[in-house]
Structure 1
């Protein structure tokens, strides 16, 4: 039995833009009708199975059909039908509800939106690329609807279905557009979620040079370091641009190499890039309701070494997988990349030692520093903060080269931010790995010979 479609509310634009022009009760009813028609087709004995793209195209044709039916019903009832603009907005909202992220979709399609924080269905804070933050319209009618939206995403996004309920109150996943979603419920007064958007889906070092994250000298150095198969760890605070820089460095890897990425929730998306045709993406799997079937990040790093990788890329190091990853780096899998949270390039070594103490191996600090010195070549540190004009900026503030070990890791800062400078790091101490980089075509010594700081 089809769901009755309510009469539309006033479709006029409100003070907060397009979201005010959509009648969400109507969208819900139209979505239900289209979903019923899709289900009828799937159950039909003579129906040819459709791949996801074909099914989405078929669903769009159904949306047009049900909107036409709705317009005829409105005219027959003596009410004015939706205008062409309102009909287009409602069609997009129905498609978003079926295949996207519902009322969050317009925010994810806005190129200026950088972060979305939802503290309950009607407390929606949006952060923009220029540093502005605004309170916008609700993204669901009730908190239960917000939870249902996240549950639908958890069931359909990623390599395996994930639960989001009282027994599983935390969720991390990658949305279809590459954004990262983190949601919680039961541990706060109202369900909440945060979305961090990937504004550059396939960034390059040239892109980061244009937006001021790094300069030409540093871009040339990092590109050569990747070609020379140096093991690089990218550090920084939350939302400092670590993942974007990792993607940009990965773009420098020759397409003939086999990459294996290991992540808690698929985010990097290198396996979907034409630049890396031989890329395998592995995702951590959580235990089922019986507590079985878990596959940890450390398990996946070990497994990746048996799958003929040219390089192993660990999306984010947050725990005991650090020992397995460092062992992989020191056993011939050169050219690996990873990210880690830290407050400075020098603080990375103590952060890694802390994680190693938490691992099953319980490595003492001195042993961890020996392992680090043999596994890691470079630490790149990103800093995020307002510039002189008040706009938000991200920049590479430091590059540190590991040079040896004497109880603790020995390192030198080869790129550093000049005092009172808002720009990216500049050449400081000449790198010990210069000859290795020269072998892959690097000619960047002039920056140091000129005394540039």
Structure 2
């Protein structure tokens, strides 16, 4: 009877997630009462409170979450989770320690079933995870980013990256050592002056965290349109800091191969939504053409992230994506668009100890002989950021208080 009730809760669409969990929890407690009565009849000792609580947690985690993975997600010290099959599980702690954890499912098939349920329930749109669609990217309720594959690997593989400090500011990153006070004030001024920024770096270098901090330096009333493969920025979760936000997310095709929504489509549509700033979570395809076009036609102060090994390499990466687009934009044309639309490239790096740091800031100064002309205004070989900037850039930054923002306060407070 209880099993039938749980199945009914699992398929109910009208109830909210919290209501479903509460209802399922009540049914589990009823089942425990039945079990307790049967143990008394069999002259067996009753389960203690801890055992009952563990059973409730396990059932709810299986029904509404990722089963045993939930116990790892509950550990705030864990930063990343990697599973090579159901029983080879590695966790990475924030202090840099890597250790092997217990199995997260009884079998690979059970793990795949849990992931399929998560794909159907946890995202904004239901996503498929099967042989025809063996890749899945998903944002979990706590903000973590899940990526998993099946069939293309010997065993299903799951990776979860935790995104901490959702309300992070430039001041927070300065305190954590991502950059010094001078660079904090500079980045704040770049945002206030509505100059366009590309954030680049390797995997897990902290690009999204820096992007979120830069956006938190924007005025709360600015209209921000974010475009992501899976929602990570979560700006709408803080209406006090961001009062006018539209979050757009791509969508995969359904079982008939219909209904796919691409990054390129979202970028094009966003231009008709009157954004003050256009934010592309991660550029990695033909949407780069539309993004550059948008930035060069009035959407000042827009931002995006991209995978690149250096601030200089970001230009060639963008040109490569544009060349692969349906328009096949020549490299020279792309470079001219970069020169006309991008002001700064900020490069992040992560060292062997897990410490993330801004190691280069490059200013785009123009276009010459088919190449992007730029100057590294902050980096290993630069000493005075202010003197390396173009005079027009210095004037623009000074107009928003760059030279005067030397207080130990969070710079965003100085703006409003």
Determine the structure 1 residue equivalent to 2:365: 403
Structure 1 CA distance for aligned equivalents of residues 129 and 78 of structure 2 = 26
Determine the structure 2 residue equivalent to 1:167: 132
Cα 1:296–1:77 change in 2 (3 A) is same
Residue of 138, 141, 144 corresponding to 1:179: 144
Equivalence map 1:332-411=2 (5 Å): 332-386=298-352, 391-406=353-368, 407-411=370-374
Secondary structure at the aligned position of 1:229 is classed as coil
Residue of 3, 6, 9 corresponding to 1:38: 9
What's the CA shift for 1:34?
6.1
Q: Deviations over 1:260-316 (max 9, x none)?
A: 111112222112222212211111112222322221100100000111211111010
Structure 1 CA distance for aligned equivalents of residues 170 and 40 of structure 2 = 56
What's the CA shift for 1:360?
1.3
Determine the structure 2 residue equivalent to 1:13: none
Equivalence map 1:79-90=2 (5 Å): 79-90=44-55
Structure 2 CA distance for aligned equivalents of residues 242 and 395 of structure 1 = 10
Structure 2 CA distance for aligned equivalents of residues 135 and 78 of structure 1 = 40
Asked if the contact 2:10–2:63 (Cα under 8 Å) also holds between the matched residues in 1, the reply is no
Determine the structure 2 residue equivalent to 1:413: 376
Determine the structure 1 residue equivalent to 2:273: 307
Which ranges of structure 1 fall in alignment gaps of 5 or more residues?
Answer: 3-31, 44-48, 420-424, 447-453
Residue of 197, 201, 210 corresponding to 2:166: 201
Query: Which stretch of structure 1 is more off in the superposition, 270-279 or 322-331?
Result: 270-279
What's the CA shift for 1:129?
1.5
Asked if the contact 2:196–2:343 (Cα under 8 Å) also holds between the matched residues in 1, the reply is yes
Residue of 95, 102, 105 corresponding to 1:137: 102
Pair 1:316-2:287 in alignment: no
Equivalence map 1:178-327=2 (5 Å): 178-274=143-239, 275-327=241-293
Structure 2 CA distance for aligned equivalents of residues 429 and 99 of structure 1 = 56
Q: Deviations over 1:209-246 (max 9, x none)?
A: 22111121111111111121111111000011111111
Cα 1:280–1:445 change in 2 (3 A) is closer
Secondary structure at the aligned position of 2:275 is classed as coil
Query: Which stretch of structure 1 is more off in the superposition, 89-98 or 156-165?
Result: 89-98
Which ranges of structure 2 fall in alignment gaps of 5 or more residues?
Answer: 407-416
Structure 2 CA distance for aligned equivalents of residues 429 and 144 of structure 1 = 61
Equivalence map 1:111-150=2 (5 Å): 111-150=76-115
Pair 1:104-2:69 in alignment: yes
Cα 1:415–1:76 change in 2 (3 A) is farther
Secondary structure at the aligned position of 1:92 is classed as helix
Asked if the contact 2:386–2:394 (Cα under 8 Å) also holds between the matched residues in 1, the reply is no
Asked if the contact 1:125–1:134 (Cα under 8 Å) also holds between the matched residues in 2, the reply is yes
Asked if the contact 1:234–1:246 (Cα under 8 Å) also holds between the matched residues in 2, the reply is yes
Cα 1:65–1:331 change in 2 (3 A) is same
Determine the structure 2 residue equivalent to 1:154: 119
Secondary structure at the aligned position of 1:213 is classed as coil
Residue of 374, 388, 396 corresponding to 1:430: 388
Secondary structure at the aligned position of 2:148 is classed as strand
Structure 2 CA distance for aligned equivalents of residues 429 and 365 of structure 1 = 31
Asked if the contact 1:381–1:396 (Cα under 8 Å) also holds between the matched residues in 2, the reply is yes
What's the CA shift for 1:253?
1.3
Aligned length: 403
CA RMSD of aligned residues (A): 2.3
Structure 2 CA distance for aligned equivalents of residues 418 and 82 of structure 1 = 67
Structure 1 CA distance for aligned equivalents of residues 401 and 34 of structure 2 = 65
Pair 1:91-2:53 in alignment: no
Secondary structure at the aligned position of 1:102 is classed as coil
What's the CA shift for 1:437?
1.6
Cα 1:339–1:225 change in 2 (3 A) is same
What TM-score does the superposition give when structure 1 sets the normalisation length?
Answer: 0.84
What's the CA shift for 1:349?
0.6
